[in-house]
Amino acid sequence: MAVSQLAAVDIGAGFSDAWRMVITFVPRLVGFALVLGIGYLVARFAATVVGKVLARIGFERVVERGGIRQLLARSRFEATAIIAKLVFYAIMLVTLQVAFGVWGSNPVSALLSDVVAWLPKAAVALLIVVVAAAIARGVRDFITAVLGGLSYGKTLATAASVFIVALGIIAALNQVGIATTVTTPVLITVLATAGGIAIVGVGGGLVKPMQRRWEGWLDRAEHEIPRMREHMEAHPMVREPAHAGAPAWSAEGMNQQAMNQPGMNQAGMNQQQMGQPGMHQTGSYPAMPPQAGPYGGQMGGPGPMPAPPQHPYGQIPPYGQAPPSR
C-alpha cells in the first residue's frame, strides 16, 4: 500500500515537471520566432532604403572616382548592392543576438554579442578605405595633370596614390584590431616622417635649398635621359648582327685569331688562308695577279676557275703529238 502511494506521488511530480518545462519552452520558442520574423522584415526594409538612398546621392560615382569600382569589375554586385547586403546582414546579426537571448545565457548568444560589437568598427574601417581611395585618386589625377609632360610624372603619380591607399589600409586594420603589432609601428613611423617634413617645410629652413636642389636634379635627369637612350642605341651590343645567329667575320679578325694561336707564324697564317676555299688575301698584301693557263683560261684569280675551251676538232691530242691538220 505504501509502495503504490509513493509511485503515484512520483508519477505526478514527473508530469508536473514536464508540463512546467513545456509551458516554459513554448513561450520562448514563440518569442524566438517572432524576433526572427520581425528582424528579417526590418533588415529587408533597411537594406532597400539604404540602396535607394545611396543610388539617389550618387554613391556609384564616388566609388568610381575612388578607384574601387575597378576592384569590383569582376563581381556581379555593384557597390550600392554590396552596402545594402552588409546592412541587411548586420541587422540580422543583431536580430539573432536578441533572439538567442530569449533562451538565456548560451555560447551562441555570447559569440553573436562579440560580432555585433565588432560591426561598427568594420563599418568605420570600410569608410576609411573608401575615403583613402578617393583621396588617392584625386592626388593621382592632380599629379598627372601637373607633371604629365615629364617622363616620370605618371610613375610619381602612381607612387603617391599607392602610398595614400596603403596608409588608409593600415588605418583600417588598426580600426578593426587586425595585426596592430605590425601596422601601428609602421603607421607611427610614416606619420612621424611626414610630420617632420612638414615642420621643416613650415619653418622654411630647407625649403629654398631643397627647391634648388630638386630643380637641378630634375633638369639633369631631363638632359641625361636622352643621352643615355642615344648611347644605348649606338652601343654595338644593342645592334643586331647582319645574319641572325651568325657572327660577322672579317679578314683582320681572322688574321688576329690566327696570330693568337700558339705555334702559328705569319707564313703559316698565310698558308692557312690560302688553303681555305674562297679566301684571298686582303690588307697590306696585294692580291695574286691572274695568270694565263695552257688552254686560254686564268689561274690564281679570285673566284672559281673557268672551264677550259673546247678544241676545234673536238679532241685534245696526246702530249708530244702535233694536232692534226685541217
| pLDDT tens by residue, 270-299 | 444 444 444 444 444 455 555 555 555 455
Give the residue from 79, 104, 129 where a domain finishes: 104
Residue-level pLDDT at 118: 86
Residue-level pLDDT at 39: 92
Residue-level pLDDT at 283: 46
Rounded Cα–Cα distance for residues 230 and 224 (Å):
10
Give the residue from 77, 104, 131 where a domain finishes: 104
Segments forming the whole domain that contains residue 68: 1-104
Q: Crossing angle, helix 266-275 and helix 251-260, to 10 degrees?
A: 130
Give the residue from 236, 253, 276 where a domain finishes: 236
Instruction: Give the chain's mean pLDDT.
Output: 71
Q: Which of 126, 39, 50, 32 is nearest to 91 (CA)?
A: 39
Q: Crossing angle, helix 107-147 and helix 59-66, to 10 degrees?
A: 60
Is residue 193, in this structure, part of any structural domain at all?
A: no
Distances (CA, A) of 291 to 270, 305, 316: 20, 11, 22
Residue-level pLDDT at 1: 47
Is residue 61, in this structure, part of any structural domain at all?
A: yes
Give the chain's largest Cα–Cα span: 171
Return the residue matching grid coordinates 690566327. 258
Query: How many independent structural domains does the chain possess?
Result: 2
Residue-level pLDDT at 242: 46
> Strand, coil or helix: what is 299?
strand
Residues of the chain with pLDDT under 50: 1-3, 6, 238, 241-254, 258, 263, 266-285, 297, 300-302
Is residue 191, in this structure, part of any structural domain at all?
A: no
Is residue 44, in this structure, part of any structural domain at all?
A: yes
